[in-house]
Amino acid sequence: MTTEPLLFDTQHEDMIHDAQPDYYGKRLATCSSDSTIHLFDIEGNQQKLIEVLKAHTGPVWQVAWAHPKFGSVLASCSYDGTVLIWKETPGSGFTVIKKHDKHQASVNAIAWAPHELGPVLLCGSSDGKISLLTFTEEGVWDVQMVRSAHTTGVNSVGWAPVISAGSFTQPGATQKASLVKQFASGGCDNLVKIWGFSEEKKTYEVIQTLEGHTEWVRDVAFAPNIGLPRTYLASCSQDRKVYIWTQDAPSSKAPGQAAPVEWQRQQLSSTPFPDVVWRVSWSLSGNVLAVSCGDNKVTLWKENLKGEWERISEIDENTTKA
């Protein structure tokens, strides 16, 4: 059973595209087609607008908070082709500390890497490229461009958990395993791609291309690792479908000899959703998936013991149904 939805006026003057709470849930950042970002203090059911950030010159598509170990840092991406990184300083509020303008078209998606990988921001653009911004030990931002990621445009990006699937179930595995450096992307070519870091080339390369969607992929999201010997990835599309992609952990019987395990595809619901599916998001425990549809409803889904996905709740602006 979910709680009743809480509605409040964000004071934006146009459509809202994203809303993200910070790590502690004490602040909320929203962004809009009015080119601004609004920041709120959250206290129980009360919200207080504390700052309006104005630096973009076009609709702001997404915002993303960095892990608090890096300070009070917020990233934003826009139709104006830029990514801005904001940092809060006492008495001065949020100011831009980095403007990333290497893309030639709208930047549609951003995602901070798991904090174990350091302050790394992943960006996807309509120019077909993916970029990674890394704050180095020298105190400068390094920019790495991945060209022709999705030739017709990148709509979404998302990082994989840094702990590999099955690590918690294999004795000593967490001590031996290195951090997983992978992310997924979804594009206007209807594809989902999995990228892995090449230690030899010091860059990210495609390690798997997942086919199934018949229209633009709008969002991709890895489930948090809760110790299961399986990796879960959700994708959604303008084809009104949501797919759950799973990959079992390689067998530990023959270390170094296990062949890569293929990704398996499962459609979330037996019938397509009523409208375009825009966003997918996992719960912190990784066992509940939220799906945001163009019919202005959010549905929650959970896998049963038979491996089938069941809708457990539906949320719209006025009601909550279990």
Query: Helix (H, G, I), strand (E, B), or coil: what is residue 309?
Result: strand
Whether the model clears a pTM of 0.85, i.e. scores above it, the answer is yes
Other residues' Cβ atoms within 10 Å of the Cβ of residue 43: 9
**Backbone phi and psi for residue 299, each to the nearest 5 degrees, phi listed first:** -115, 145
Domains of the chain, earliest start first: 11-148 (2.130.10.10), 162-180+215-250+260-322 (2.130.10.10)
pLDDT band at 320; cut points 50, 70, 90: low
Span 3-62, pLDDT tens digits:
667 788 899 999 999 999 999 999 999 999 999 999 999 998 899 999 999 999 999 999
Q: Which pairs count as long-range contacts for 45-52, CB under 8 Å and 24+ apart, including other chains?
A: 45/6, 47/8, 49/11, 51/93, 51/94
CB 5 within 8 A of CB 320: yes
Query: Helix (H, G, I), strand (E, B), or coil: what is residue 169?
Result: helix
165: Cβ–Cβ under 8 A, 6 or more apart, which residues?
225, 228, 229, 230, 231, 247, 248, 249
Span 103-136, pLDDT tens digits:
999 999 999 999 999 999 999 999 999 999 999 9
**CA distance linking residue 223 with residue 246, whole number of Å:** 10
